[in-house]
A and B are shown apart, each in its own frame.
Chain A
């Protein structure tokens, strides 16, 4: 089966600045990929190229087997911009009827689509009166029109509360199960962790890491932290046993070690018996992993 989205050695310059440097990726039908990166890492540029909104300098991009931005490709691709904006004078329903008509679908589905994103009660109000989260949901509703082959979502959950955020990812799960490939961007790794199949980290226009969260965790090989609470008055003997330990303000000692050293270190701490009151093992956080990859080029 041919992938829904294929990008190979894509390069884009804005004047002197290289926004994308030889980025390659593929996305198969029904897969969800999260594009992570700082502001200015090239996420939006990559998405706009996939949508055919801006030209690129070199490389190859095919969307559903077609050139990005061709009318056949646009018929297959749905997009949610970073800050979904609509004309404030139209109601939610009118706006969706408009989008349905532009896709050649029956405008009568408008209310049903609004109901899918929980906006059925606000459908007859003007979008000018909507909150940011509600506008974002109108934006989401228009991506559900027809059955898009590829869904491109630019920071889709900004402005959504945690509950709507979960509903949103549930909707995406449903779409992916029907075969839609999903490319979404975010700068919050914790959020996309459980809800995407693959994570792509862009930094300074380069794809610096790609894989599942487990892959990235293994590749980063960040040290594990151990927090040790000594029993009262036993701190000196513990610092003598572990001279590398760093004392933190609240009487805790922080130790760190590579993954492979974790169990031997635990065994040594356990051997101290009564000197240790408590122990916590803290694996590298998602933010640590993300920072590790996205800062590699000295940003």
Chain B
């Protein structure tokens, strides 16, 4: 545990020096505030407080931004050590590869938590400031924060795995962008296209829920929207969220980070310095 912490402290310091902490936090705060301002329109709808509406918009933002931030922080994780030539020495220390990755993960999760808490928090402040009733939506805000951290953990793990597979930072960056495009953008577009072609058929009732759970980004969206019962406010792919039991999307959120880390450790073990 001490060794994981030692790795984490070093990683955090490096991320801080490289301005990652301020870039991540700044990005989240900026986007969240823009959304809070833009999302003011639907206020006053049927009994939904303003913060819950903001959370629904923040969910759509987080689906894109959290995986992006996580991949940006992690793609260098293993490949960077290989390129700098720091990996051989590190591996001669009495610390396992699992512990090295867990240490990096811990540091990056702390940064991500800080960024989403400050980002969502500032949007929540705006909502509560303009509508005292909005305080009722605090529960869904907290849920959004911890589920964003889990979503981030999945993409951090995936980023380390790609980093270990690519062994060069430039290659790892390419893989990371590809993964982001496929998992966050193209996957949903493909699902939408399929819904349009097979509207209302067996695809929508049976295959679609499975397809949504199989993608951590969609599972995150479904979980937050159905938990907040804000499905109506979101629309789009999120409209299908009602069909999926809450426990299933929650399970997907918890299982994906473990799978991603397991994948990362397996890939890292194959790297010979």
| Cβ contact of A94, chosen from B5, B13, B18, B94, cutoff 8 A | B13
Residues of B contacting A25 in the complex (Cβ-Cβ under 8 angstroms): none
- Interface residue tally of chain A, by bracket? 20 to 34
Scan residues 41-76 of chain B and give those whose CB is less than 8 A from a CB of chain A.
Answer: none
Scan residues 132-184 of chain A and give those whose CB is less than 8 A from a CB of chain B.
Answer: 139, 142
Task: Give A142 to B93 CA distance when docked, in angstroms.
Answer: 11
Seed contacts A48-B273, A54-B272, A102-B7; 7 additional CB < 8 Å A-B pairs: A51-B92, A77-B92, A84-B89, A85-B86, A86-B84, A89-B18, A98-B6
Closest residue of chain B to A75, judged by CB?
B94
- How many residues in B have their beta carbons less than 8 Å from beta carbons of A? 24
Task: Give A53 to B273 CA distance when docked, in angstroms.
Answer: 7
The answer to whether B139 has its CB under 8 Å from any CB of chain A is no
Cross-chain contact A98 with B94 (CB below 8 angstroms): no
Cross-chain contact B10 with A71 (CB below 8 angstroms): no
Cross-chain contact B85 with A53 (CB below 8 angstroms): no
Q: A54-B272, A89-B17, A90-B13 are in contact. Are A102 and B94 (CB under 8 A)?
A: yes
Residues of A contacting B95 in the complex (Cβ-Cβ under 8 angstroms): 102
Cross-chain contact A53 with B3 (CB below 8 angstroms): no
Complex interface bits, A50-79 against B, C-beta within 8 A gives 1, otherwise 0: 011110000000000000000100110111
Closest residue of chain A to B95, judged by CB?
A102
The majority secondary structure among interface residues of chain B is helix
Closest residue of chain B to A100, judged by CB?
B6
Task: Give A101 to B3 CA distance when docked, in angstroms.
Answer: 7
The answer to whether A130 has its CB under 8 Å from any CB of chain B is no
How many A-B residue contacts, CB cutoff 8 Å? Answer: 71
Cross-chain contact A87 with B93 (CB below 8 angstroms): no
Shortest distance from the beta carbon of B103 to any chain A beta carbon, whole Å: 10
A binding-site residues for B, Cβ under 8 Å: 48, 51-54, 71, 74-75, 77-79, 81, 83-87, 89-90, 94, 98-99, 101-104, 139, 142
Residues of A contacting B9 in the complex (Cβ-Cβ under 8 angstroms): 98, 101
Q: A53-B272, A53-B273, A104-B2 are in contact. Are A98 and B10 (CB under 8 A)?
A: yes
Interface pairs (10), CB distance under 8 Å: A48-B88, A51-B92, A77-B92, A81-B89, A83-B85, A101-B5, A101-B6, A102-B93, A102-B95, A103-B94
Residues of A contacting B18 in the complex (Cβ-Cβ under 8 angstroms): 89
Cross-chain contact B3 with A102 (CB below 8 angstroms): yes
Task: Give A22 to B207 CA distance when docked, in angstroms.
Answer: 59
Residues of B contacting A53 in the complex (Cβ-Cβ under 8 angstroms): 88, 91-92, 272-273
Shortest distance from the beta carbon of A75 to any chain B beta carbon, whole Å: 4
The answer to whether B14 has its CB under 8 Å from any CB of chain A is yes
